[in-house]
Structure 1
Amino acid sequence: MTHNNHQRIRLEAVTKRWDDITAVDAISFDVTPGQFVILLGPSGCGKSTTLRMIAGLEQATEGRIAIGERDVTFLPPGDRGLSMVFQSYALFPHLSVADNIVFGLRSRKVPKAERRERLARVAELVDLEAYLERKPAQLSGGQRQRVALARSIISEHPICLMDEPLSNLDARLRGEMRREITSLQARLGMTVIYVTHDQVEAMSMGDRVILMQNGRIVQDGSPAELYNRPASAFAASFIGSPAMNLVQLAAHDGAAVIDAEREVAVAPAAAAGGQLGIRPEDIEVLSSDASGVPAEVIDEEYLGADTILQLSVGSQRLRARLPGKRPMPPGTRCRLAWVPSAAHLFDADGLRRDDLTPVAFAANPGTTDPITTHSRASHL
């Protein structure tokens, strides 16, 4: 499938209201042909409603939706030239896998020979050739989801909308299906808009992530941009696992310190009243005689590849992610350090501040035996 402008999707100030509830609040974005776009956010943020308005299953209250050069704002779903995969597979239990897959083609009166040819091609694509005679009840969850995918691919629409399609699967299957969907999308050149609340799905599948909160777009960028330069404290806390540490800053001695920890300035005075954000994997944990922010271990959680430490700094709690096994019993005193590029400052409204530079703590060159020194590879 070659990309063409029929696959472009444009939303212009699209709003959806139910009585006095605004589910989607004047959002605009432009999806280029062949892009894999994730609509991400907590439940109730408006992402599924946005998808349903693109599909034509919900009517926009205000604004305009265009697919290619056509204004589709008021067109019925069948006239929009797209397919959709839902969270529930919505398979017909009395029909075989083959009949489920070709159901839409049959209702559109596609000739029998062409149906057979397309079915063979799609069954091979999604690895269902051995299951075509079975009924849905005889399939696993992952196989049923493949049938739902096959049914959407066989329509040969260049646009596919997916609404939480993997949330009914267990973790291992979800990982497999993520890879299958992204490789299918790349091979077929489809434009995909994919709704999820799962940030791992968003980070691993999308070319572009549109993060929503309360019906509005909070940030729109590549997964790396959302991870490395979150636009707000909400974006910072939503992306990454464990989530970014956000600690309150207070004024002390002409600088900003972590609240109730006055020994070490961590940011310029103008940052007081806002928050400092640092990812758990960007924190170095050093011995208590090193330079850095004094902290105490509250708890440790060994996960095999790494250890997550819960730490208290003043009245605030932080987590640090360290490689391997780190036996650090509760009560261990230590110091925390990070490089300035790893720290993010947010104002009292939670918006990113790029006008201020956080104070840097590197490990003290004179200090031997830091408890840990580790690379700051971004872990998901």
Structure 2
Amino acid sequence: MSNQSRIRLERVTKRWDATTAVDNISFDVSPGQFVILLGPSGCGKSTTLRMIAGLEEASDGSIYIGERDVTRLPPGDRGLSMVFQSYALFPHLSVADNIVFGLRSRKVPKPEQRERLAKVAELVDLTDYLNRKPSQLSGGQRQRVALARAVISEHPICLMDEPLSNLDARLRSDMRREIKALQSRLNMTVIYVTHDQVEAMSMGDRVILMQHGKIVQDGTPDELYNRPASAFAASFIGSPAMNLLPLVAGEKGAIIEGEPSTPVASLEAAGGHLGVRPEDIELRPPSTYGVPALVVSDEYLGADTIAHVTVGGHTLRVRMSGKHSLAGQPCCLSWASEKAHLFNADGLRRDDLTPSTFSKTLRAVPRPPAVGSFQY
């Protein structure tokens, strides 16, 4: 693929007076990649996208598209299209006129406009709606019009700023698949802003997670989920999020604060946090092995149940397949050592320590069946 759709940011910063919205970030997007800018509201992801588009001017640093330095170029000279959160459609124009509006502004010949319109309308399944006004369309159809307007420009780069946030959950799921399929079919380079980690995990080839204007992790969805670089990344990715439990020094190693009986990591981990995903925890009958706990409530979600469990005064979540009613019952928790994550006092991942051998040793112990009313 042509290198002209490569996007590169070098030490880019955006300030408004005393406020730094984007703080010295750098990343490189390869041609044809689908890259997600992910993070909570106010983290700088939309500002980053607007700087790439030329709608905001960078305070420092450089932005390259292909080999061109576009840092100070106006939006129209950057060779890209954009899809906004609001559909930004002209209510008095038909669907067809909304789609070709940019081509008319650039004086593209009418025969070429008609040819490109027919091709794009078929691509996004709008052929039967070209004569309608936006008010006669559903939310998903309006978003398709906005996508068609971006695609018809035939720019190799498309920037998307939370394009699905105004749609209901079912439509968002459908549109995620359509956008990803469209990007793959056209081989576009896409940078997509969202605060929704489900969108990030399901759509992105790569996810750039931001916090307070900085990049905290840049990797594949699998890397962010299975090897979070920080406690923030661990808690932001996943639904439910990773359980994070404070660790303090115990007699035989680091223990969960408030639960003195079971060391869960080496002593050097004290002062940091232990992270375990809800689906990686085994909930076992009491007085067997692992960390003593109490189930305080459970949520049945159809395919699975989320049990809310207390350990040493801390609440964590355990995901179990199927329906379970365990509220009020004592239990023990265990997990495979490779499924545990350790973070230091600053919230950064520690790979120099390993979790306690309690989970390693217990894997060799015959596991007792459920007893009494305790079912799992």
Partner of 2:368: 368
Alpha-carbon distance in 1 for matches of 2:364, 2:155: 59
- Aligned equivalent of 2:282, options 276, 281, 284: 284
Cα distance in 2 between the residues matched to 1:301 and 1:239:
20
SS in 2 for 1:224: helix
Structure 2 unaligned residues grouped into runs of 5+: none
CA distance in 1 between partners of 2:368 and 2:170 (Å) = 42
Q: 1 CA distance for matches of 2:42 and 2:269?
A: 32
Q: 2:95 aligns with which of 90, 97, 107?
A: 97
Superimposed CA distance per residue, residues 161-190 of structure 1 (whole angstroms, 9 cap, x where no aligned partner) = 000000000000000000000000000000
Q: 2:329 matched to 1:354? A: no
Mapped partners of 2:189, 2:363: distance in 1: 47
- Residue aligning to 1:31: 29
State the Cα distance separating 1:365 from its structure 2 match.
3.0
Name the counterpart of 1:166. 164
- In 2, Cα distance between the equivalents of 1:369 and 1:251? 33
1:160-219: per-residue Cα shift (whole Å, max 9, x none)? Answer: 000000000000000000000000000000000000000000000000000000000000
Q: Flag structure 1 segments of 5+ consecutive residues without an equivalent.
A: 374-380
Q: How high is the TM-score relative to the length of structure 1?
A: 0.96
Q: Distance in 2 between matches of 1:4 and 1:220?
A: 24
Q: Which amino acid aligns with 1:366?
A: P
| Aligned match of 2:48 | 50
- Supply the distance in 1 between the matched residues of 2:367 and 2:139 (Cα, whole angstroms): 55
| Contact 1:285/1:372, CA 8 A, preserved across alignment | no
How far the C-alpha of 1:326 sits from its partner, in A, is 1.0
Residues in 1 aligned to 2:21 and 2:198: alpha-carbon distance in whole angstroms: 25
Q: Give the aligned residue type for 1:297.
A: V
Contact 1:291-1:363 at 8 Å conserved across structures: no
CA deviations 1:113-161 (Å, max 9, x no partner) are: 1000000000000000000000000000000000000000000000000
Residue type of the alignment partner of 1:368: P
Q: Is the 8 A contact 1:322 1:372 kept in 2?
A: no
Aligned residues: CA RMSD: 1.0
Q: What are the residue-to-residue correspondences of 1:54-69 with 2, within 5 Å? A: 54-69=52-67
1:219 matched residue in structure 2: 217
What is the letter of the counterpart of residue 25 of structure 2?
I
The aligned counterpart of 2:337 is: 340
C-alpha distance in structure 2 between counterparts of 1:149 and 1:197, whole Å: 20
**1:1-380 aligned within 5 A:** 3-329=1-327, 331-359=328-356, 360-361=358-359, 362=362, 365-370=365-370
Q: Distance in 1 between matches of 2:178 and 2:341?
A: 35
- For residues 8-37 of structure 1, give each alpha carbon's deviation from its aligned partner in whole angstroms, at most 9, with x where no partner exists: 000000000000000000000000000000
8 Å CA contact retained: 1:290, 1:364: no
Given that 2:326 and 2:375 are in contact with CA atoms closer than 8 Å, whether structure 1 keeps it comes out as: no
Shifted more, 251-260 versus 190-199: the winner is 251-260
Asked whether the equivalents of residues 14 and 24 of structure 1 are also in contact (C-alpha less than 8 Å), the reply is yes
- Per the alignment, in what secondary structure is the counterpart of residue 51 of structure 2? helix
- Alignment partners' CA distance in 1, 2:367 and 2:103: 71
Q: CA deviation at 1:367?
A: 3.7
How many residues are matched?
370
Paired residues of 2:281 and 2:335 also in contact (CA < 8 A)? yes
3-state DSSP of counterpart to 1:230: coil
Counterpart contact for 1:249–1:256, Cα < 8 Å: yes
Task: Specify the alignment match of 1:376 in structure 2.
Answer: none
> Do the aligned partners of 1:15 and 1:62 also contact (CA within 8 Å) in 2?
yes
Map Cα deviations across residues 343-364 of structure 1 (whole Å, 9 max, x no partner): 0000000000000000242457
Contact 1:345 1:358 in 2 (8 A): yes
Distance 2:253 2:289 in 1: 18
Cα contact 1:67–1:80 (8 A) shared by 2: yes
Percent identical residues: 72
